[in-house]
Amino acid sequence: MRVARQTRYGQLIRRCLRRWIPAGHAPWRRFPAWSDVPRRRWYDWRWQWRHLIRTAADLERLGLLRPDVAERLRSVTDTYPVVVSPYYASLMDPDDPADPIRRQAVPDLEEVTSPTRLSPDPLGEGRLEVVPGLIHRYADRVLLIASNMCSTFCRHCFRKRILGRPGVATAVRHLDAAVDYIRRHPEVRDVILSGGDPLVLPTSILARLLRALRSIPHVEIIRLGTRVPVTLPMRVWDPALLAVLDRYGPIWCLTQFNHPREVTPETDATVQMLLRVGVPVLNQAVLLRGINDDVETQRALHRALVRACIKPYYLHHADPVRGTHHFRTSLTRGLEIMEGLRGHISGIAIPTYVVDLPDGGGKVPLLPDYRVAVGPGVWVFRNHRGELFAYGVEPMGDGTQRLGTSE
């Protein structure tokens, strides 16, 4: 029975890889360090895991850090450790210091020059913890920090305070207490497994957690907040993992692509596998200065996502977290970008721009104002081309007409 199931998912994996990844595709071979790594190895997540890049010196050897910079980064990496998967590193352009993928994963001195008035936890998550690792901010949903490990540590992570640090609410031993709390709170209908990354947990532990959550009748949906599809897609290409996701649904996958170059043939294959075991894939991009804070990049990113069958969900304004100030941009910039999306790319490709308020205030959406004036019974709107329209407020629609152009 078990063997038959594994074979079925094995076939699904092979079919998706064959269908979505071109035969000669091997971009990692550009790197001398990986020029003779065969596809079979490269596409084995265990190989990727064994070869995680964990030091500035490793990045230097790959040509992703200049030696003089690498030497000065100790002050950064002592505070905020380095973890980069070979797969994610292979998407970087070693010749471009401003490469958008490199900037997300390679440490930078700016991280320790961050003003100390910035809090490591501006969202006040620590105070909203009801049991270690379980954040209960909205009545009907909870967020569980199921792991403090990731396949790549994002330099812009808003939970950089917990990454890879033993002893902080990680932890497998806390999972039972969290499940207990959820069982005792029938108002909780939606459980978000986050971290860290829940998909770097051993499959058996994830299975145990999902099984426990599924045994709670009031838990309707489970979300996996994971960057694995971006940084270690081959983790999904594991028959045992797909079997678990298939079995314990409804499960939604919430991931974080921030740049169109992160969307690769490996992404296509991964998303197709997830869809085929009943897991929809949504994206929560983060607005990052110098990486994706312009209209062109955002259009390309969101078009690439829907082409890969990923539904854009949120565009997050970056939180004011200590160690990440250099990634932040202004709210007006964010609104300009949203204006540049609506009407210009498919509606299904448009995320909701959100700001997470401090101290557990929660997320609020921010929208460019398309309503430019409010009159008695009539509102005036502008569209994406700057044309003006009067629109009757009441059911009979009196006063609805086209007006002209705003510029």
Ligand X SMILES: *Cc1c(COP(=O)(O)O)cnc(C)c1O
154: annotated active-site residue = yes
Catalytic residue among 150, 155, 223, 293: 150
| 230 sits near ligand X (criterion: CB under 6 A) | no
| 141 sits near ligand X (criterion: CB under 6 A) | yes
The pattern of x and - marking residues 165 through 204 that bind ligand X according to CB under 6 A reads ---------------------------x------------
CB of 313 to ligand X, least distance (A): 7
Q: Which of 135, 212, 228, 285 binds ligand X (CB under 6 A)?
A: 135
Strand partners, 281: 253
| Residue 282: closest CA among 265, 262, 257 | 257
Catalytic residue among 41, 61, 363, 370: 363
In the complex with ligand X, the residue whose CB is nearer, 39 or 137, is 137
Which span (136-144, 174-182, 206-214, 325-333) binds ligand X, by CB under 6 A? 136-144
160: annotated active-site residue = no
| 138 sits near ligand X (criterion: CB under 6 A) | yes
| Pairing between β-strand 251-255 and β-strand 221-225 as defined by DSSP bridges | parallel
| 143 sits near ligand X (criterion: CB under 6 A) | yes
Question: What is 188-226 written as a DSSP string?
Answer: --EEEEESS-GGGS-HHHHHHHHHHHHTSTT--EEEEE-
User: Could you tell me how many residues of this chain bind ligand X (CB under 6 A)?
Assistant: 7
Contacts of 166 (CB under 8 A, 6+ apart): 148
| Pairing between β-strand 141-145 and β-strand 134-138 as defined by DSSP bridges | antiparallel
DSSP alpha helix (H) spans, 65-202: 67-72, 74-79, 86-89, 100-105, 172-183
| 363 sits near ligand X (criterion: CB under 6 A) | yes
Distance CA 58, CA 54 (A): 7
CB of 292 to ligand X, least distance (A): 20
Catalytic residue among 5, 15, 39, 138: 138
Which span (49-57, 138-146, 263-271, 323-331) binds ligand X, by CB under 6 A? 138-146
114 exposed, middle or buried (CB, 10 Å; 0-12, 13-18, 19+)?
A: middle
| Pairing between β-strand 378-382 and β-strand 387-392 as defined by DSSP bridges | antiparallel
Could you give the residue numbers annotated as active site?
Answer: 137-138, 141, 150, 154, 157, 159, 319, 356, 363
Q: Which residues here bind ligand X, judged by CB under 6 A?
A: 135, 137-138, 141, 143, 192, 363
